[in-house]
Amino acid sequence: MNRFVEAVSTLENRYIKDWKSRGGRVVGYTCSYVPDEILHAAGLFPFRVRGFSAADTTIGDTYFGPFICSLPKCMLQLAGEGNFNFLDGIIITPGCDSMRRLDECWRKAGEDIEGIVPGFFFHFGVPHKFTDYTLKWFTEETKRLINALNSHFGADINNEQLSESIRLYNRTRVLLARFDSLRTRKDPPFTGIEALAVVLAGTALPKEIYNAMLEEYLAEMNDAPGIAGRSRIMLVGSANDDLELVRIIEGSGGLVAADNLCFGSRLYSDSVDENSEPVEALVTRYLSHNECPRMYGDYKNRLLSLKEKIESAAIDGVILQNIRFCDLHGSENGLFERDLEKEGIPCMRLEREYGPLVETGRMKMRIDAFLERLGRRVVAP
């Protein structure tokens, strides 16, 4: 477990340092809609950019303004402080409007602060709908990314390499699905904090190393004693890579036994078809991925998959959290609350800032009250 926690507790972890010392190059990306198999196939180290460890947002506020999600602001803060200078490239998507603005704000900050814009800076358009014409468009965009990577890094991404990377990444998904089945069982052998660290590490380690670590961990966990007697919580909503948020929930007697987060189970919920042409298989998997409210017209399916998870993981209550100014999750959480409560599933909405965890007293008060509510809940026989 320590290796996972260590890998996610620093931005430029020792695996990245080792990779760079051997002349390897690292490319960051901001969203789970980027098919990072492509980066792997190009011989690059794909690294999911986070806003973790930003102590304030003075640089972020300067370029973004105050009324916007604090996640991209923290990312820009770290970039402006030079914490992402180890990146040789960055891929930014319009995951949401705030994240789209990271592209222009980072470029603009780069005019004022020397050396913070990586040599490869790519805006990767991802449509908000899954249709035949958006799939066509997304295929073209993905090919544009492949050509840009080939041209900038002197790579030669071909189908054979892509297929190999797809197989490797699918292996990760299979392992994480096994991990998920341990997590959601009646007495999971690890806490939600540990679960988040394990999943997050997958975004910050070379997949070959990560898969080996994961296999080892799963073997250990098979016979590990389980945790029982706590209220089982599902954490839903905006991006969260903060172990501390989960620590508050679990410190009050909850156990985060499931999530639908983009630094969580969204990463491994579907595999890429290994029998189709690789680019086609990748774009289909990524664009059909509907778990983020950025995808229009798919609320009902998202609700359905949430309900399935709640049932299979025997969830007692759902915490619907969103980062302040997150329109997508903020509004969808309201719908989830309405529809889940209607079916007798207790929900609590929680708005927070991304970044250094503040107002923990107020957060704890709400979580305590919610857990007290769950403790009294009568479960039908």
Partner 1 sequence: MITAGIDVGSLTSKAVIMKDGKILSSIILKSKPRPWESADLAINGVLEKTGLSMKDINCCVGTGYGRDKIPFIHQARSEIACHAKGARWLMPSARTVIDIGGQDCKVMKLDEKGEMVKFITNDKCASGTGRFLEVMAKAMGVELSELGELSARSKNPVTLASACTVWAQADVIQHLNEMIPIEDIAAGINNAMASRVATLVSSIGIEKEVCMTGGVAKNSGVVSSLEKTLGIRIKKIRRDDPQLAGAIGAANYAETLLNGGKI
Nearer to partner 1, 252 or 290 (CB): 252
Nearer to partner 1, 229 or 361 (CB): 361
Closest CA to 145 of 167, 166, 123, 160: 123
Please select the residue that binds partner 1; options are 351, 356, 357, 360, rule is CB under 8 A. 351
Q: Tell me the window of 9-17, 60-68, 227-235, 363-371 that interacts with partner 1 (CB under 8 A).
A: 363-371
327: contact with partner 1 by CB under 8 A: no
Please select the residue that binds partner 1; options are 303, 341, 357, 381, rule is CB under 8 A. 341
359: contact with partner 1 by CB under 8 A: yes
Distance (Å, whole) CA 174 – CA 5: 21
247: contact with partner 1 by CB under 8 A: no
Least CB distance to partner 1 at residue 53 (A): 22
Least CB distance to partner 1 at residue 372 (A): 5
Nearer to partner 1, 262 or 350 (CB): 350
CA R_g for the chain: 20
Least CB distance to partner 1 at residue 351 (A): 5
Q: Measuring CA to CA, how many Å separate 65 from each of 58, 101, 102, 105?
A: 10, 11, 12, 10
The C-alpha angle with vertex 237 and arms to 366 and 338, in degrees rounded to 5, equals 70
Kindly state the helix (H) or strand (E) to which residue 167 belongs, with its residue range.
Answer: helix 159-183
Nearer to partner 1, 289 or 324 (CB): 324
Strand partners, 348: 319
Show the 3-state SS of 311-351.
HHCCCCEEEEEEECCCHHHHHHHHHHHHHHHHCCCCEEEEE
Q: In 3-state terms, what secondary structure has residue 6?
A: helix
Q: Tell me the window of 31-39, 197-205, 272-280, 367-375 that interacts with partner 1 (CB under 8 A).
A: 367-375
362: contact with partner 1 by CB under 8 A: yes
56: contact with partner 1 by CB under 8 A: no
Please select the residue that binds partner 1; options are 349, 354, 356, 379, rule is CB under 8 A. 349
368: contact with partner 1 by CB under 8 A: yes
Q: Tell me the window of 132-140, 205-213, 307-315, 353-361 that interacts with partner 1 (CB under 8 A).
A: 353-361
Please select the residue that binds partner 1; options are 229, 361, 379, 380, rule is CB under 8 A. 361
312: which 2 tokens? 């299979």
Please select the residue that binds partner 1; options are 114, 133, 376, 381, rule is CB under 8 A. 376
Q: In 3-state terms, what secondary structure has residue 150?
A: helix
For residues 25 and 45, is the Cβ–Cβ distance under 8 A? yes
Closest CA to 256 of 267, 268, 244: 244
114: which 2 tokens? 């020397």
Query: Which residues, 6 or more positions from 304, have their beta carbon under 8 angstroms from its beta carbon?
Result: none
160: contact with partner 1 by CB under 8 A: no
Chain residues that interact with partner 1, rule: CB under 8 A: 324, 341, 349, 351, 358-359, 361-362, 365-366, 368-369, 372-373, 375-376
